[in-house]
Chain A
Amino acid sequence: MSKAILDIAALHKSYGATPVLKGIDMAVNENELVFIIGPSGSGKSTLLRCCNRLEEPESGSILVDGTDILRPGVDLNRLRQKIGMVFQSFNLYPHMTALGNVTLALRKVQGMEKEAAEEKGRAALARVGLAEKVNAYPNELSGGQQQRVGIARSLALEPRIVLFDEPTSALDPELVGGVLKVMRELKESGMTMVVVSHEMAFARAAADRVIFMDKGVIADQGAPEDMFGNPKHERLREFLSRIQH
């Protein structure tokens, strides 16, 4: 029996008077890759961003590796190290090299010595295929390379789970493959991952489970072959036909 790394219960979130998440229950097990799909405005990015409290939910609970991250007085900065996050727009620090990006939190949050942090940072960059680019600045890298640095920045902290918020949406089509390849390898190495994305082919190939969100709730979920091959939920069929046309 594998244990839940992420366990969300009765999660609610509104922007002002507009409810965005209307009672989300979901669990992600160790080594599992969960794919979240759904129309824009369905709340999938918000859900992801609640999981490391970039957004503050109104109510509910979120357990990461057994710790309730919504509990008052929780050491959020320490917890966030367990929860990697990869952003649509990469959000690399433009004034630092790839290695600087990857080692900043190691040095300042984990208090590692420069040499040890850099060794770890180099290893993380090598893992995403960028061993040659440690000293490059973000503006010297392609979008795909930048996103891989973003992934390395998360990995260096040895997270228990990595959240991907539309990691390939800002990339030119020919650069998407490199990023997906890294994600696939990550999955094979046993990383627990939650991915919000429209890369359906990747979901089919790599996801253990697909969650379909619609209007702030989990409308349907299942194995990718069922969800894509034989969608039962009407809104899911609609959604799939619109994006695959």
Chain B
Amino acid sequence: MDAILQNFFNMEIASKAGVFLLKGLGMTLLLSAIVIPLGLLGGLAVAVLGSLKKKWLSVLLIVYVDFFRAFPPLVLLIFIYFGTPFLGLDIPKLLAVAIGFFLNTSSYYGEVFRAGIESIPKGQFEAARSTGLSGSQTLRFVILPQAVRNVLPDLISNTLEVIKLTSLASVVALPELLNNARQAQALTYNPTPIVLAALMYLVLLWPLVRLLSRLEHKSISMH
């Protein structure tokens, strides 16, 4: 018992590493605050462009979405961060990570939004168009509000995954939460910082998980 406490719940080490980990948490939050809105916007753009039913555009979007959903995000990060200097580009670490995550998350969000748009009956488009609304007004005022509501649980669920995904940025040594926890572990020869990081993730994500489960419960009882 004592050994477990010493190794995993070492208060002394926890208090020493605390500030460093909080800095990491700050970076994780910053990264999420960049990646989630951009990913949502990108995904929305992908889905809306796809709903235009332009043949060549749809092919392009399918290639984009399929590729970045199938491509491991970890490998993508390594490619972008370590590959771009060879192309003569010197991009900051945070930007490289943000680009990699954007490509991955926008394709996932895109699929969620697409499912949402496709869940809306054709009659809704027809009713809106028959009253003189333009195509984009129809999307904005009639289709998207319903589509987003229909896939809200999936959007939140995907957002949870994105926040967890940000820990992959440690592979290029971006000082986010997991990266800092592992550094602290290496310096102290003690895994307590990892446990502390796990607790921080938990506190960060738990409210979202709760919200998600409430929404899912609600949507089941509505059907």
Picked from A80, A93, A94, A110, the residue with its CB within 8 Å of the CB of B130 is A80
Size range of the chain B interface in the assembly: 10 to 19
Residues of chain B in range 96-143 having any CB-CB distance to chain A below 8 Å: 121, 123-124, 126-134, 137, 141-142
> Lowest 4 A-B CB distances belong to which pairs?
A91-B127, A105-B131, A91-B123, A85-B130
Picked from B128, B132, B133, B146, the residue with its CB within 8 Å of the CB of A94 is B146
Contact check, A52 vs B134: say whether CB atoms are below 8 A apart. no
Known: A95-B145, A157-B132. A109 touches B127 (CB 8 A): no
Q: Is A218 close to B, CB under 8 A?
A: no
Picked from A91, A92, A108, the residue with its CB within 8 Å of the CB of B141 is A108
Give Cα A85–Cα B126 distance, bound, in whole angstroms: 9
Size range of the chain A interface in the assembly: 20 to 34
The contact string, 1 if C-beta is below 8 Å from chain A, for chain B 188-202, is 000000000000000
Residues of chain A in range 34-60 having any CB-CB distance to chain B below 8 Å: 52, 54
Query: What does DSSP make chain B's interface, helix, strand, loop or mixed?
Result: helix
Report B147 CB to chain A, min CB distance, Å.
10
B residues near A110, Cβ cutoff 8 Å: 132
Give Cα A92–Cα B133 distance, bound, in whole angstroms: 14
Contact check, A108 vs B146: say whether CB atoms are below 8 A apart. no
6 contacts between A and B (CB under 8 A): A77-B134, A80-B131, A81-B131, A91-B123, A91-B127, A105-B128
Instruction: Give A contacts to B, CB under 8 Å.
Output: 52, 54, 77-81, 83-85, 87, 89, 91-95, 104-105, 108-110, 150, 153-154, 157
Q: Is B149 close to A, CB under 8 A?
A: yes
Instruction: Give B contacts to A, CB under 8 Å.
Output: 121, 123-124, 126-134, 137, 141-142, 145-146, 149
Report B12 CB to chain A, min CB distance, Å.
55
Contact check, B133 vs A105: say whether CB atoms are below 8 A apart. yes
Give Cα A84–Cα B137 distance, bound, in whole angstroms: 18
Picked from A80, A92, A95, A104, the residue with its CB within 8 Å of the CB of B129 is A80
Picked from A83, A89, A153, A154, the residue with its CB within 8 Å of the CB of B123 is A89
Interface centre among A52, A87, A108 (most CB of B within 10 A): A108
Interface centre among B131, B132, B137 (most CB of A within 10 A): B131
Contact check, B146 vs A95: say whether CB atoms are below 8 A apart. yes
Picked from B127, B132, B145, B149, the residue with its CB within 8 Å of the CB of A92 is B127
Picked from B124, B137, B149, the residue with its CB within 8 Å of the CB of A108 is B137
| With A54-B130, A81-B132 already in contact, 18 other A-B pairs whose C-beta atoms are closer than 8 Å | A77-B134, A80-B129, A85-B126, A87-B123, A87-B127, A89-B123, A91-B124, A91-B126, A92-B127, A93-B146, A94-B146, A104-B142, A105-B132, A108-B137, A109-B133, A109-B137, A110-B132, A153-B131
